[in-house]
């Protein structure tokens, strides 16, 4: 159980309580295989000042295919507060960062990839790891369902100029 594994690394109880309402490792519910639902969560990275955590959920309710989504949260460990993109990124540079994400998405695209025309990347679903920052877009958000999740990854050094200097991750990454 990850709760017991990471409980000691969490700085204060409110953060642990904020995440404990998730069904960790919740197995799919099946009713004669007509439909199923699932949700699970886990920490991605526990840093000095923050924690990146993911919740994955999905199911099948009939139709051509099921659905799945993966959402990332960044919590300050000292307050337990869930941060927003406005907390994490320099708001005066969001258009520039969006263009950078879009360019990288197209650079990494294969011939068979099919992104939505006019898609403008946002910075709401972000995975922070020790040496990389990944912007994640759900199926249908940036491309057709067959494309799956679209992930655009940058080395920390590439994204550092776009981070909010008041953000605890900026300080942690800047020190590296």
Query: pLDDT tens digits for 65-121?
Result: 777 888 899 888 888 888 888 899 999 999 999 999 988 888 877 765 666 677 778
Q: Identify which has the larger pLDDT, 23 or 113.
A: 113
Helix, strand or coil, per DSSP, at residue 28: strand
Helix, strand or coil, per DSSP, at residue 78: coil
Query: pLDDT tens digits for 114-162?
Result: 666 777 788 889 998 888 999 998 877 777 777 778 889 999 899 999 9
Taking the C-alpha atoms of residue 35 and residue 27, their distance in angstroms, rounded to an integer, is 13
Taking the C-alpha atoms of residue 165 and residue 169, their distance in angstroms, rounded to an integer, is 9
- The chain-wide mean pLDDT, for the chain, equals 76
Taking the C-alpha atoms of residue 7 and residue 5, their distance in angstroms, rounded to an integer, is 6
- Statement: residue 28 has pLDDT above 70: no
Structure confidence at residue 111 (pLDDT):
60
Mean pLDDT on 20-37: 51
Is there a contact between 51 and 15 (Cβ–Cβ < 8 Å)?
yes
- Give the pTM: 0.74
Structure confidence at residue 13 (pLDDT):
38
- Work out the burial of residue 4: count CB atoms within 10 Å of its CB; fewer than 13 is exposed, 13-18 middle, 19 or more buried: exposed
Taking the C-alpha atoms of residue 136 and residue 151, their distance in angstroms, rounded to an integer, is 5
Tell me phi and psi for residue 60, to 5 degrees: -135, 125
- Work out the burial of residue 142: count CB atoms within 10 Å of its CB; fewer than 13 is exposed, 13-18 middle, 19 or more buried: buried
In sequence order, the 6+-apart residues with CB closer than 8 A to the CB of 130 are: 45, 47
């Amino acid at each position: 159980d990850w709760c017991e594994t990471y409980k000691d690394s969490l700085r204060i109880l409110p953060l642990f309580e904020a995440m404990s309402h998730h069904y960790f490792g919740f197995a799919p519910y099946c009713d004669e295989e007509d439909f199923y639902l699932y949700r699970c969560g886990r920490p991605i990275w526990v840093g000095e000042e923050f924690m990146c955590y993911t919740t994955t959920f999905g199911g099948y309710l009939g139709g051509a295919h099921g659905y799945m989504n993966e959402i990332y949260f960044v919590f300050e460990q000292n307050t337990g507060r869930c941060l927003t993109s406005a907390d994490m990124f320099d708001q005066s540079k969001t258009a520039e960062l969006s263009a950078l994400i879009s360019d990288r998405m197209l650079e990494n695209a294969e011939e068979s990839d099919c992104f939505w025309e006019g898609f403008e990347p946002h910075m709401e679903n972000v995975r922070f790891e020790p040496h990389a920052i990944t912007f994640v877009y759900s199926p249908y958000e940036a491309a057709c369902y067959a494309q799956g999740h679209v992930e655009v990854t940058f080395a920390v050094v590439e994204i550092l100029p776009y981070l909010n200097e008041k953000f605890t991750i900026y300080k942690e990454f800047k020190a590296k």
